[in-house]
Amino acid sequence: MKKINIKKGDQVIVLSGKDVGKTGEVIAVLPKESKVIVEGVNVAFRHQKARKQGEESAIVKKPTPIYACKVMRVCPKCGKPTRPATKVMGDKRVRVCKKCGAEI
């Protein structure tokens, strides 16, 4: 199990796979599996059967997990993919962009 530098709510870009180049927001992080769930990336279709009378069957789109090593954080200021660095400001640790130095 590796440390994941991506948190829920981060904007990421996909580096490899069928959805290469797509960007989206991280919905959930699964650290035990080293995976993340990104909105609009790696979408699977699930067929949902009607269980009660009056309910309709449907095909539901569901985002599935993708390995965290296949995505990279996007800096909100410069818009480039970057690995976040940590800087100590006062008594707090803050994530910063390695390319432009902006606080993430």
**Range list of H helices, the chain:** none
Rounded to whole angstroms, the Cα distance separating 73 from 87 reads 17
Q: What is the pLDDT of residues 42-66, one digit of tens each?
A: 999 999 999 999 999 999 999 999 9
68: region left, alpha or beta (phi > 0 left; psi from -120 to 50 alpha): alpha
Task: With cut-offs at 50, 70 and 90, classify the pLDDT of residue 4.
Answer: confident
pLDDT at 1: 64
- Work out the number of other CB atoms within 10 angstroms of the CB of residue 27: 15
Question: pTM of the full predicted structure?
Answer: 0.83
CB 71 within 8 A of CB 14: yes
What are the extents of the domains in the chain?
A: 1-73, 76-104
- Fold exhibited by the domain 1-73: SH3 type barrels. (2.30.30)
User: CB of 23 within 8 A of CB of 12?
Assistant: yes
Is the pLDDT reported for residue 67 higher than 70?
yes
- Interatomic CA distance for residues 71 and 89, integer angstroms: 27
- Residues 36, 61 contacting (CB under 8 angstroms): no
